[in-house]
Amino acid sequence: MKHLIAYGIGGILTTAVNYLIYVGFLELNFHYLAANTLAWAGAVLFAFWLNRQMIFHSRGNWPRELLSFCSLRFLTLLLENFLLLLLARWLLLPALPSKGAVSLVTVAGNYLFCQKKIFAKGGC
pLDDT in tens, 59-110: 888 899 899 889 888 988 999 999 999 999 999 999 999 998 898 888 777 7
Q: How many CB atoms lie within 10 A of CB 80?
A: 23
- Which pLDDT does position 73 carry in this prediction? 85
The partner residues of 119 in beta bridges, in order of sequence, read: 123
Long-range contacts at 88-96 (CB < 8 A, ≥ 24 apart): 88/32, 95/26, 95/32, 95/35, 96/22, 96/23, 96/26
Dihedral of alpha carbons 124, 55, 39, 41, sign: negative
- How does residue 117 score in pLDDT terms, banded at 50, 70 and 90? low
- Which pLDDT does position 5 carry in this prediction? 85
- Which pLDDT does position 104 carry in this prediction? 83
Q: Which whole number is the average pLDDT over 33-53?
A: 93
- Which pLDDT does position 116 carry in this prediction? 65
